Chains A and B, each alone.
Chain A
Amino acid sequence: MYSFDVVRPATVADAIEALAQDEALPLGGGQTLIPTLKQRLSSPSVLVSLSGLAEIQGVCKTDDGKLAIGGGTKHVVVAREAAADYPALAALAGNIGDPAVRNRGTIGGSLANNDPSACYPSAVLASGATVVTNKRQIAADDYFQGMFTTALDEGEIITEVRFPIPEKAAYMKFEQPASRFALTGVFVAKYADGVRVAVTGASEGGVFRWTEAEAALSSKFSPDALAGLTVPADGMISDLHGTGAYRAHLVGVMTKRAVAAAH
């Protein structure tokens, strides 16, 4: 690793001030950033650890019935504390990485990084959630802007994510067994006004909505409704773990499984 300082402010205001320094980077749980630093792919002058910000940790219900999760909340906490209100989201969080990773990694860190194979982006997009930062609220449809790219500005941090709670939902992940990231993962969420389907791990453009499947499932919420629907292999990730065509096929399979499992 290159040399840098680590500071650990106790309030969001202090964190934002620290992030205004030249070449400062926020540090969430570090489960992606620290390996990146070890490879010398990043050379910050100072890392601003967000782990001391008590005000952005925890899970609660808002007055209008949404599930609010602080940006600094660890996966293990989401798995435990979202289980009653949003079991599909809790199950997703409880299956990220491995237990030790879940004890460090945070929802805000995952969303800020927007790895094309991360689990959380699919839940946020399929739920039509709102990403709340220290300065604004961003709709999920505007937030994700391609692989490792988001609407966040430099020095802006995710303080909360607000999820409308669906009638039914499920996340199905086809795991890449070495990394435990999603080779392809599909999150299906059924709301009173329609179904949303978000796919992670498959596209070179990062997480995306499968709108044809959404339309079919909104008329009939059943795996049969997806018969004959496919996504094109163009623009799908091709690597040693699977071709674009394979991933495109997995999108259909995992969507059907998610619909069948939704509760």
Chain B
Amino acid sequence: MTEVTMTVNGKSVTKSVKGNTLMTEFLREELRLTGTHVGCDTSQCGACVIHVNGEAIKACTMFAAEAQGSEVTTIEGMANADGSLGVIQQAFQDHHGLQCGFCTPGMVMSAAALLKDNPKPTEHEIRDYLEGNICRCTGYHNIVKAIMAASGQDVSGIAAE
């Protein structure tokens, strides 16, 4: 067991973890932050995307021991301080960017990482950036639309409702 300390959604946490404890297990089972979903557990689907030191990573493919000293943000850290939905979350709701919602935490975290580096992405850039996030319900159009809207851009040109 190794002791790790990191900041998760602004709060410092210290826990003893086994070497093979993944970040997904650490967040979901140790911290009970179950918003980070485990879809494939093979780093294909992106449902588990979180931010570590501001960068989007797949939490199923990183050990908790490697996050020692890091700043971690999960979907639970994306709402506004008063508990209302953040801009990206609200845009997903407004534009029906989800159906079953299982992939949504990862989609929102990837979208946030994209918009941090590229505040006005094109439709192509959004689709390209979401390459590692799989949604089996929406066909992506409304997710792309939501991200365009969250970045303050016109969404009328995006294909299909």
- Residues of A participating in the B interface, judged by any CB pair closer than 8 Å: 1-6, 8, 27, 30-31, 34-35, 37-38, 46-47, 49, 51, 76, 97-101, 103-104, 178, 180
Contacts and interface: CB of A to CB of B under 8 A. Distances in A.
Contact of A6 (B2, B43, B57, B131): B2
Interface of B: 2, 18-20, 22, 41-44, 46, 49, 55-58, 61-63, 65-66, 68, 110, 113-114, 129, 131-133
Contacts of B55: 76, 103
Nearest to A39: B42
Contacts of B22: 34
A103 B57 contact: yes
Given A3-B19, A5-B2, A97 B132 contact: yes
A41 B66 CA distance: 21
A75 to B, nearest CB: 12
24 contacts: A2-B20, A3-B19, A5-B2, A5-B19, A6-B66, A8-B68, A30-B61, A30-B62, A31-B61, A34-B61, A34-B63, A35-B61, A47-B19, A49-B63, A49-B66, A76-B55, A98-B131, A100-B43, A100-B46, A100-B56, A100-B132, A101-B43, A101-B132, A178-B44
Given A47-B19, A100-B56, A180 B42 contact: no
A161 B113 CA distance: 29
B57 A100 contact: yes
A100 B65 contact: no
A76 B67 CA distance: 18
Contacts of A37: 20
A155 B47 CA distance: 35
A142 to B, nearest CB: 31
Given A35-B42, A49-B65, A99 B18 contact: no
B43 A35 contact: yes
Nearest to A49: B66
A67 B66 CA distance: 28
Given A6-B66, A30-B62, A49-B66, A99 B19 contact: no
Contacts of B57: 100, 103-104
A6 B26 CA distance: 15
Given A5-B2, A30-B63, A35-B43, A100 B19 contact: no
Contacts of A178: 44
Given A1-B20, A8-B68, 4 more contacts: A2-B20, A34-B43, A104-B61, A180-B131
Given A1-B20, A3-B19, A103-B55, A98 B62 contact: no
A178 B43 CA distance: 12
A76 B65 CA distance: 22
A49 B19 CA distance: 11
A48 to B, nearest CB: 11
Nearest to B46: A100
Contact of A100 (B42, B58, B66): B58
Contact of A46 (B19, B129, B132): B19
A27 B20 CA distance: 12
Contacts of B43: 31, 34-35, 100-101
A6 B62 contact: no
A98 B19 contact: no
Nearest to A80: B117
Contacts of A76: 55
A223 B108 CA distance: 43
Contacts of B66: 6, 8, 27, 30, 49, 51
Contact of A4 (B20, B41, B46): B20
A100 B18 contact: no
In the A-B complex, the 9 residue pairs with the closest CB atoms: A98-B132, A6-B65, A6-B19, A5-B19, A103-B55, A98-B131, A1-B20, A100-B58, A4-B19
B88 to A, nearest CB: 16
B61 to A, nearest CB: 5
